[in-house]
């Protein structure tokens, strides 16, 4: 049976395409080393449009209005510039309401684009530019440790990771918010304290990595001005031991926290990336696995949610669960002890 | 379409869901179409595959193992037509996988064309992200900017009766056209126009080049008081498939295998429900409910008139993270047979939205999942019932109309640990009235039959009559205004062997009279206190009602409509446990 895979890897190679939403200019050069916050491409596009209905304003038919328009598509206009004129005893002049680009002229109307902004595409992951995609973006290759999460608030941060926990089930509290943590990326267990989230933003920190988050705080976390990644899920559950061990081992290193929201359809996930030197490029992680004995697995639902273990045996046929469901299941030896538990395959994801 | 079984063909039908891909095989056995077997595999529509083919192939391979018949040849190609016991003669496919289409609806007036367009959007896996109408307070440029920002997958335009308003529709089209023009070519939406037919040439000329797929159907509001959704629904079905073809790998191939008849799962379910309501003459409606990860689907047909409601926001997958926008926590908690903090339910909703395929392993987790299922299905039916024809028969305003039968699908119902639990989810969520039969689609055959119906009208009927669906219960639900504990009904069942059983039912009770599958009998009902069984207050059929045995037998649901719960938490838990115990735990 096909198995979902989540990456918690001490050393891996990642190749990621970073693409502009609209065509633009690629800034990063081939082989350039980039941090996650470096701008690799940019695009200019208008944020606001203005539709000027010349025919209606002059009180004429669209065909007639068309002849009175003085600007063409693609032309830049400045505020106050005459864009249409109607002759007569009292000539009527229509002026541009602001600076902008004429996008379209037709049917006696003008569509202008104003409020141009530059969209800057950041690298998102640290690494080396290994491919340029003309007008769209780049491919970046990363070497280092990788931990994928399940929830992110859409921001990117870069900084030194400092643990504020000594055990994976510790709660993040307000009194842990020491000024010495300012500018760092915090590694914490569970958070159910809105004041702790608020204080982290006030310091400010450059990011927060949580094992789990209270569902009551999701909207607060989503609005935070610093990136937040949740590794395991919602509700009081410890950070899984694989992620905890990997992250604490790399404490005080510079890490990137890319809190992209989890999108099951595209496969985009929030990630924590820790660049590490390599002599030989490690293999690309496998995105597709089938369940097999010996695989490290993470348990996603109660009981044992968030625990990590090894798939010991795939059980034949269907297995009865305490809930009464009969499902495909496996025996899993939990890392937390030598306990072997029976878990539905649907509640397992392979760590790889 | 075969005129007779001489032309009969075997059929392989595939359904691609968000969580599971399913393959079902039908063939002729002793002169009749039969469902033979089905095979399942995890869906591969999402990452990392983002290609439905792998999941479909695995489901078919699973089916091959079960049947011993080979369907796939070299390179995982479908063997079609059948030859010497391998392959299959016809292939049908349906799909519900993928995020709901981001949809913008455009029309003139809120209670006319916009309302109909909203209803049209509800007939497929769509999420309405903006509505543009005449009474929109925004400036045109504000509407354009919002469309550009939203990047919809689909735009539905209606407005103007035939021969009616033109200029206002043209103005709306202008806004849509400008927004589409501003979008990058690869991000342009699909578009369906179902408005004033006088404008179709103009719409085609101006909007076709600016859209990824384009369709025109007849006016869904040809007159101010007339609504005709069917042609637009058909066009939308095709457009939905076009969008999926551009979004997901493997959909094109699936459509080719199906001879360009790939359908959205909900449309196929709707088609078979409408078909059944035409075939089986009934003064009641026919109801099909499907609670899946992608959506909650309600298909109700009254004399061939279908109301199809697809509610992605009420599905048991990713949508759960936002479920509390559409229902309250209290309405979920009330179904759970033990005291549990709201926090636990919130955790469940968010965790399940991350892992839609995960399963409840503990009794507590199962209770939460089933409570959520009840409330999602109830909310979906409540929403869909606003679109039911006004003339449908109901015991009282706001109650579920009379249906016969009710078909239930979706693994939370059909794969519940006991059949009684599946039945109770349906009874609690639907709260049926009068006398009805509850049938389970355990093998998810409804979409397959719906997809096959256009090419083979014999197959659905013969499969339905073959026992491929599970007759779960005959339900008797009186409507009565009486105090709990008041006798409201006497039921006397005489089975085919002449054995008689008698039961007096009090208001508030849920009782079962066994009548096993394969047996039949006659049921004599005597209502009291103006109890209405669908014949009118205190009225009954003196000659009795013929009943056929089902796995759960005759279920008499006198718990009251709508269902009410004691305010005392402990008492509420006790009652729910008692109901559960009555249906077998």
Chain A residue with Cα closest to B248:
A265
Residues of A in contact with B359 (CB under 8 A): 301, 321, 323, 325, 327, 344, 346-347
CATH number, domain at A149?
Answer: 3.50.30.10
Q: Tell me if B354 and A151 make a contact (CB, 8 A cut-off).
A: yes
Per CB-CB distance under 8 Å, the chain A contacts of B355 are 300-301, 347
Q: Do B361 and A343 touch (CB under 8 A)?
A: yes
Same domain for A166 and A192, yes or no, is: yes
Which pLDDT value is given to residue A91? 86
Query: How far A40 CA sits from the closest chain B CA (Å)?
Result: 21
Mean pLDDT along residues A7-21: 94
Q: What percent of chain A has pLDDT over 90?
A: 89
Transcribe B481-530 into DSSP letters: ---TT-EEEEEEEEETTS-EEEEEEETTEEEEE---TT-EEEEEEEE-TT
pLDDT of residue B457: 82
- Supply A313's token pair: 């045996």
Single out the residue in A219, A243, A275 at which a domain terminates: A275
Give chain B positions within 8 Å (CB) of A265.
45-47, 50, 98-99
- Same domain as A113, residue A189: no
Do A226 and A203 form a contact (C-beta atoms < 8 A)?
Answer: no
Percent pLDDT > 90 in chain B is 90
Q: Residue B108: what pLDDT?
A: 93
Please give the share of chain B, as a percent, with pLDDT higher than 70. 98
Cβ of residue A153 closer than 8 Å to a chain B Cβ = no
Q: Residues 54-93, chain A: which have Cβ within 8 Å of B?
A: none
Same domain, A152 and A255: yes
Interface test with B, best of A323, A342, A348 (most B CBs within 10 A): A323
Structure tokens at B311: 């509610």
Mean of pLDDT over chain A: 94
Verify whether the Cβ–Cβ distance B45 to A265 is below 8 Å: yes
The shortest CB-CB distance from B48 to any of A103, A288, A326 is to A288
Residue A298: which CATH number?
2.30.30.30
Contacts of B45 in chain A (CB under 8 A): 265
Chain B positions in Cβ-Cβ contact with residue A49 (cut-off 8 Å): 141, 144-145, 148, 178, 182
In-domain check, residue A133: no
d(CA B405, CA A78): 69
Pairing of strands B154-157, B190-193: parallel
Q: Chain B closest CA to A183's CA: distance in Å?
A: 30
User: Encoding tokens for residue A2?
Assistant: 């096909």
- Smallest Cβ–Cβ distance between B346 and the set A21, A215, A326 belongs to A215
Would the pLDDT of B35 be above 80? yes
Q: What is the pLDDT of residue B8?
A: 58
Examine the fold and report which residue of A80, A102, A117 is the final residue of a domain before the chain moves on: A117
- What pLDDT, on the 0 to 100 scale, is given for residue B281? 64
Domains in chain B (CATH in brackets) are 5-97+252-257 (3.30.420.40), 101-242 (3.40.50.360), 267-582 (no CATH)
Res B249: pLDDT: 96
Looking at chain A, which residue has its C-alpha nearest residue B357?
A346
Q: Show the tokens assigned to B541.
A: 């059929």
pLDDT at site B6: 42
**Taking a C-beta distance cutoff of 8 angstroms, is the pair B529, B488 a contact?**
yes
Report the number of distinct structural domains present in chain A: 3
Half-sphere exposure at residue A321, Cβ-oriented, CA atoms within 13 angstroms: 29
Residue A331 inside a domain? The answer is yes
Report if residue A187 sits inside a domain.
yes
Contact state of B358 with A2 under an 8 Å Cβ cutoff: no
Do A302 and A221 belong together in one domain? no
- Same domain for A6 and A150, yes or no, is yes
Point out the least confidently predicted range of A103-107, A139-143, A207-211, B412-416: A103-107
Mean pLDDT over residues A84-105, rounded? 90
Mean local confidence (pLDDT), A257-274: 95
Helix H, strand E, coil C: the string for B190-235 is EEEECCCHHHHHHHHHHHHHHCCEEEECCCCCCECCECCCHHHHHH
Residue A282 lies in a domain: no
The angle at the Cα of B26, spanning B21 to B28, to the nearest 5 degrees, equals 175
Question: Mean pLDDT, to the nearest integer, of B361-387?
Answer: 97
- Say how many CB pairs under 8 Å bridge A and B: 142
Q: How close, in Å, is residue A261 to chain B by CA atoms? A: 11
> Is the pLDDT reported for residue B131 higher than 80?
yes
Contact state of B145 with A266 under an 8 Å Cβ cutoff: no
Mark B165-190 as b/e (b = at least 16 C-beta within 10 Å).
beebbbebbbbbbbbbbbbeeeebbb
Shortest Cα distance, chain A CAs vs residue B572, angstroms:
22
Cβ within 8 Å, pair B343-A216: yes
Tell if the CB–CB gap between B44 and A2 is shorter than 8 Å.
yes
Pick the residue of B125, B202, B347 with the most A CBs within 10 A to test the interface with A by mutation: B347
Cα A243 to Cα A220: distance, rounded to the nearest angstrom: 24
pLDDT of amino acid B7 = 53
Residues A265 and A181 grouped into a single domain: yes
List all residues of chain A from 162 to 221 with a beta carbon under 8 Å from chain B. 214-216, 218
pLDDT at B4: 44
SS3 B261: coil
pLDDT (0 to 100) of residue B454: 78
Q: Tell me the chain B residues in contact with residue A344 when contact means C-beta distances shorter than 8 Å.
A: 358-359, 361
- What are the pLDDT digits (tens) for A162-197? 999 999 999 999 999 989 999 999 999 999 999 999
B359–A325 C-beta distance less than 8 A: yes
CB contact under 8 A, B366 and A324: yes
Name the 3-class secondary structure at B325: helix
Does the pLDDT at position B325 exceed 70? yes
Q: Looking at the structure, do residues A267 and A298 belong to the same domain, yes or no?
A: no
Say if residues A315 and A343 touch (Cβ distance below 8 Å): no
Residues of A in contact with B145 (CB under 8 A): 47-49
Residues of A with CB below 8 A from B141's CB? 48-51
CB nearest to A324's CB, from B54, B182, B418: B418
Per-residue pLDDT at A338: 75
B458 pLDDT above the threshold of 90: no
Give residue A85's domain range.
Answer: 45-117
Q: Give the residue on A whose Cα is nearest the Cα of B97.
A: A265
Beta bridge partner(s), residue A118 = A44
String of b and e for A107-126 (b: at least 16 CB within 10 Å)? bbbbbbbbeeeeeebbbbbb
Give the CA radius of gyration of chain B: 25
B174–A107 CB contact, under 8 Å:
yes
Q: Report the pLDDT averaged over residues B14-31.
A: 95
Question: How far apart are alpha carbons B434 and B274 in whole angstroms?
Answer: 21
Q: With beta carbons under 8 A apart, name residues in chain A contacting B98.
A: 265
CB contact under 8 A, A104 and B178: yes
The predicted complex's ipTM stands at 0.91
> With 90 as the cut, is the pLDDT of residue B324 above it?
yes
Residue A124 lies in a domain: no
CB contact under 8 A, A233 and B354: yes
Would you list the DSSP string of B21-57? EEEEEEEEETTEEEEEEEEEEE--SSTTT-BHHHHHH
Chain centre to alpha carbon of residue B199: 34
Residue A193 located in a structural domain:
yes
Please tell me whether residues A254 and A336 are part of one structural domain: no
Across B216-233, average pLDDT: 94
- Dist CA B220 CA B114 (whole Å): 10
Q: Which residues of B touch A326 (CB under 8 A)?
A: 417
Span of A287-301, B280-294, B339-353 with lowest mean pLDDT? B280-294
Q: Which of residues 226-265 of A touch B (CB under 8 A)?
A: 233-235, 262-265
A158 and A239 belong to one structural domain: yes
A103 contacts on B by Cβ (under 8 Å): 181-182
C-alpha distances (whole Å) from B13 to each of A12, B18, B78, B452 are 42, 17, 12, 8
Domain final residue, candidates A117, A134, A151: A117
pLDDT at B2 over 50: no
Q: Please indicate, yes or no, if residue A16 is contained in any of the structural domains.
A: no
Residue of A109, A264, A286, A342 to mutate, interface with B, max B Cβ within 10 Å:
A264
Residues A317 and A168 in one domain: no
Chain B partners within 8 Å of A218 (Cβ): 350
pLDDT of residue B403: 96
What is the band of A1 on the pLDDT scale with cuts at 50, 70, 90? confident
**A324 interfacial to chain B (CB closer than 8 Å):** yes
Say if A29 falls within a structural domain: no
Q: How far is A54 from chain B (nearest CA, A)?
A: 14
Q: Are residues A107 and A194 in the same domain?
A: no
Interface membership of A150 toward B (CB under 8 Å): yes
pLDDT given for residue B455 in this prediction: 79
Q: In terms of domains, do A59 and A201 share one?
A: no
A106 vs A222, higher pLDDT: A222
pLDDT over 80 at A47, yes or no: no
Longest dimension (CA), chain B: 77
Q: Do A2 and B174 touch (CB under 8 A)?
A: no
By CB atoms closer than 10 A (0-12, 13-18, 19+), residue B150 is: middle
Q: Tokens for B368, please give them.
A: 């939460």
For B211, the token pair is 């859209």
Tokens (6 digits) for A176: 């842990």
* Residues in chain B closer than 8 A to A347 (CB atoms): 355, 358-359, 361
Q: Say what the pLDDT of residue A90 is.
A: 81
Please indicate whether, in this complex, the C-beta atoms of A215 and B343 are within 8 angstroms of each other: yes
The CATH number for A58's domain is 2.40.50.100
For B261, residues 6+ apart whose C-beta sits below 8 A from its C-beta are B92, B93, B255, B451, B454, B455
The stretches of chain A forming alpha helices (DSSP H) are: 54-58, 62-68, 194-202, 218-223, 241-249
Cα–Cα distance between B443 and B25 in angstroms, integer?
11
Q: Which residues in chain B have Cβ-Cβ distances shorter than 8 Å to A216? A: 343, 346
Q: Which of B46, B178, B182 sits opposite A264 (nearest CB)?
A: B46
């Amino acid at each position: 049976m096909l198995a979902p895979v989540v990456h918690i890897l001490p050393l891996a190679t990642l190749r990621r395409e970073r693409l502009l939403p609209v065509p633009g200019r690629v800034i990063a050069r081939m082989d350039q080393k980039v941090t996650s916050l470096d701008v690799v491409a940019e695009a200019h596009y208008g944020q606001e449009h203005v539709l000027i209905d010349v025919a209606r304003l002059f009180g004429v038919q669209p065909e007639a209005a068309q002849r009175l328009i003085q600007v063409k598509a693609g032309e830049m206009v400045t505020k106050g510039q005459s864009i249409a004129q109607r002759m007569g005893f009292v000539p009527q002049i229509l002026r541009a309401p602001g600076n902008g680009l004429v996008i379209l002229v037709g049917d006696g109307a003008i569509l202008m684009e104003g409020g141009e902004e530059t969209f800057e595409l950041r690298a998102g992951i640290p690494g080396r530019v290994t491919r340029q995609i003309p007008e769209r973006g780049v491919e970046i290759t990363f070497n280092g440790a990788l931990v994928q999460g399940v929830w992110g608030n859409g921001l990117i941060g870069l900084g030194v990771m400092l643990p504020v926990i000594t055990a994976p089930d510790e709660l993040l509290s307000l009194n842990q918010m020491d000024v010495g943590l300012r500018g760092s990326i915090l590694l914490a267990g569970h958070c159910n304290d809105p004041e702790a989230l608020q204080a982290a933003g006030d310091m400010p920190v450059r990011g927060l990595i949580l094992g789990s988050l209270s569902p009551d705080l999701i909207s607060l976390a989503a609005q935070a001005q610093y990136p937040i990644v949740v590794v395991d899920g919602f509700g009081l559950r410890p950070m899984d031991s694989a992620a905890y061990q990997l992250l604490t081992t790399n404490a005080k290193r510079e890490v990137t926290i890319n809190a992209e929201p989890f999108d099951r359809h595209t496969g985009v996930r929030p990630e924590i990336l820790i660049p590490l030197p390599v002599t030989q490029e490690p293999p690309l992680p496998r995105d597709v696995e089938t369940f097999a004995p010996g695989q490290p697995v993470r348990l996603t639902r109660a009981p044992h949610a968030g625990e990590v273990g090894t798939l010991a045996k795939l059980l034949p046929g269907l297995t009865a669960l305490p809930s009464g469901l009969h499902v495909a299941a496996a025996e899993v030896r939990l890392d937390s002890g030598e306990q072997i538990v029976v878990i539905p395959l649907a509640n397992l994801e392979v760590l790889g | 379409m075969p005129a007779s079984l001489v032309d009969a063909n075997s059929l392989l039908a595939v359904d691609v869901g968000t969580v599971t891909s399913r393959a079902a095989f039908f063939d002729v056995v002793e002169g009749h179409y039969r469902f033979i077997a089905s095979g399942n595999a995890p869906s591969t529509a999402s990452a990392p595959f983002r290609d439905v083919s792998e999941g479909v192939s695995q489901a078919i391979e699973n089916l091959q193992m079960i049947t011993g018949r080979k369907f796939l040849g070299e390179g995982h190609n479908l063997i079609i037509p059948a030859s010497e016991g391998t392959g299959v003669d016809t292939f049908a496919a349906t799909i519900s996988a993928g995020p709901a289409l981001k949809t913008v609806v455009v029309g003139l007036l809120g209670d006319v064309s916009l309302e109909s367009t909203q209803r049209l959007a509800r007939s497929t896996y769509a999420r309405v992200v903006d509505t543009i109408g005449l009474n929109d307070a925004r400036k045109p440029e504000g509407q354009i900017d919002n469309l550009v920002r939203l990047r919809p997958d689909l735009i539905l335009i209606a407005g103007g009766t035939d021969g009616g308003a033109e200029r206002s529709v043209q103005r709306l089209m202008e806004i849509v056209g400008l927004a589409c023009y501003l979008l990058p070519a690869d991000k342009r939406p699909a578009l369906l126009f179902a408005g004033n037919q006088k404008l179709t040439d103009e719409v085609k000329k101006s909007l076709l080049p600016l859209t990824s797929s384009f369709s025109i159907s007849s006016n869904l509001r040809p007159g101010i008081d007339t609504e005709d959704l069917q042609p637009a629904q058909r066009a939308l079905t095709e457009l939905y498939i076009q969008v999926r073809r551009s979004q997901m790998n493997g959909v094109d191939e699936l459509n080719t295998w199906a001879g360009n008849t790939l359908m959205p799962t909900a449309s196929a379910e709707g088609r078979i429900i409408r078909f059944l309501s035409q075939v089986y003459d009934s003064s009641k409606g026919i109801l099909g409910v499907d609670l899946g990860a992608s959506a909650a689907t309600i298909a109700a047909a009254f004399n061939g008139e279908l109301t199809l409601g697809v509610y992605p926001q009420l599905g048991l997958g990713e949508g759960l993270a936002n479920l509390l926008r559409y229902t309250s926590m209290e309405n979920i908690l009330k179904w759970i047979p033990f005291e549990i903090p709201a926090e636990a339910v919130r955790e469940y909703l968010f965790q399940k939205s991350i892992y839609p395929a995960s399963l409840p392993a503990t009794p507590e987790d199962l209770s939460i999942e089933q409570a959520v299922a009840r409330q999602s299905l109830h909310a979906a039916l409540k929403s869909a019932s606003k679109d039911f024809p006004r003339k449908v028969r109901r015991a009282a305003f706001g109650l579920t109309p009379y249906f016969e039968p009710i078909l239930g699908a979706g693994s939370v119902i059909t794969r519940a640990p006991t059949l009684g639990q599946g039945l109770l989810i349906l009874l609690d969520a639907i709260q049926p009235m009068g006398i009805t039969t509850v049938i389970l689609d355990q093998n998810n055959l409804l979409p397959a039959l719906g997809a096959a119906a256009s090419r083979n009208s014999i197959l659905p009927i013969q499969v339905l009559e073959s026992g491929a669906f599970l007759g779960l219960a005959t339900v008797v639900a009186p409507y009565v205004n009486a105090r709990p504990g008041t006798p409201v009904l006497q039921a006397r069942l005489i089975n085919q062997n002449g054995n008689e059983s008698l039961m007096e039912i009090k208001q508030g009770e849920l009782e079962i009279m066994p009548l096993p599958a394969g047996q039949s009998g006659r049921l004599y009902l005597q209502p009291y206190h103006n109890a209405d069984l669908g014949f009118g207050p205190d009225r009954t059929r003196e000659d009795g009602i013929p009943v056929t045995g089902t796995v759960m037998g005759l279920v008499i649901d006198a718990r009251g409509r709508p269902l009410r719960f004691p305010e005392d938490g402990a008492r509420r838990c006790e009652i729910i446990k008692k109901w559960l115990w009555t249906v077998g735990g």
